[in-house]
């Protein structure tokens, strides 16, 4: 979670409005029931299981996804989520921010 909080702080410092991090699938799904994010950065492993149900819901909502995980299998994620970007940990915050910015520009 320390990495997630650091990433949130860095993105907020860059002017992004950050909601989260959510440590569990349940909490992330609750948040999605109340608000549609412009984009999402997801770790694959959460406290109550893998993040795939959250990613599936985000795809249904047409929300761009960046996976940021040390547990990611890029080939599996890219097959299931071809429009997503996968940034394996460790990954520089600048690379994640660049991916996020690119996705938001493409979505506009």
Instruction: Give the CATH number of the domain where residue 25 resides.
Output: 3.40.50.2300
pTM for this model (two decimals): 0.88
Contact 85, 66 (CB under 8 A): yes
Q: How far apart are CA 10 and CA 30, in angstroms?
A: 24
Contact 41, 66 (CB under 8 A): yes
The 8 Å CB, 24+ separation contacts for 34-37 are 36/61, 36/63, 37/63
Parent domain of 61: 2-107
Question: Tens of pLDDT along the chain (108 residues)?
Answer: 557 777 788 888 888 888 889 999 999 999 999 999 999 999 999 999 999 999 999 999 999 999 988 877 889 999 999 999 998 877 778 888 888 888 888 776
* Total number of domains in the chain: 1
Query: Which of 12, 11, 14, 13 has the alpha carbon at shortest distance from 66?
Result: 11
């Amino acid at each position: 979670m320390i990495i997630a909080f650091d990433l949130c702080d860095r993105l907020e410092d860059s002017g992004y409005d950050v909601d989260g991090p959510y440590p569990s699938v349940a909490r992330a799904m609750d948040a999605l029931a109340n608000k549609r994010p412009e984009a999402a950065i997801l770790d694959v492993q959460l406290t109550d299981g893998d993040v795939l149900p959250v990613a599936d819901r985000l795809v249904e909502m047409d929300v761009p996804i960046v996976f940021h995980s040390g547990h990611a299998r890029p080939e599996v994620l890219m097959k299931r989520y071809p429009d997503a970007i996968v940034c394996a940990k460790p990954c520089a915050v600048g690379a994640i921010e660049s991916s996020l910015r690119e996705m938001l520009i493409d979505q506009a």
